[in-house]
Structures are given as C-alpha cells and as structure tokens.
Amino acid sequence: MTISYDKIADVLYVAFDKTSPDQYVFVENNEGDILKVDKHTGRVVGCTIPSFAARTKRGKAIVMPEIGAVPFNDMARELLHV
C-alpha cells in the first residue's frame, strides 16, 4: 500500500496495490471521495480524498472503503456492469 499527501492541494492519495491504468476506472462516491476501481473485479484498488486536513480538523469522519465492499452508486454500476 502507498499513501501520499499533497499539503498544498489538501488531498490524500491511497493505492492499495499497483494496478495498470488500463485496468481501472475512477468513481466518485457519495462523500465526494474518488475511488479507483478495478474494471474486472469491482474491487477498490485506491482512493483520493480531497480536503483531507480540512475534513479531519472539523472532526468529520473519513471512512476508508474496505477493499471489495464499496456500495457503488448508479454511475459505478453502469461503468462496471455490475
């Protein structure tokens, strides 16, 4: 797993494994976080969390999706054909 933080943009990046860019799609969840989802398995292989410091300073919980257990919104279902 790789975790990096861009202090200027206030964005946290998390990659759970190394997946080739042609193997995944980006899907925004209901919280505004961007999930990197494997096209073939539907598993989350990474995520981008905007306004990370601002959200944590306000005490807002940030729920990290469990790999393979993400409740997909309608757009994700359409993209992934699940």
**Higher-pLDDT residue of 2, 21:** 2
Q: What integer pLDDT is reported at residue 9 of this predicted model?
A: 93
Distance of CA 21 to the CA centre of its chain: 14
Q: What is the pTM of this model?
A: 0.68
Beta bridge partners of 38: 24
Q: What integer pLDDT is reported at residue 82 of this predicted model?
A: 46
Q: How far apart are CA 60 and CA 19, in angstroms?
A: 30
Task: Supply 23's token pair.
Answer: 């193997």
Q: What integer pLDDT is reported at residue 62 of this predicted model?
A: 64
Q: Tell me: the pLDDT tens digits for 26-67?
A: 888 777 888 888 888 878 888 898 988 888 777 666 665 544
Task: Tell me: pLDDT of 8 over 90.
Answer: yes
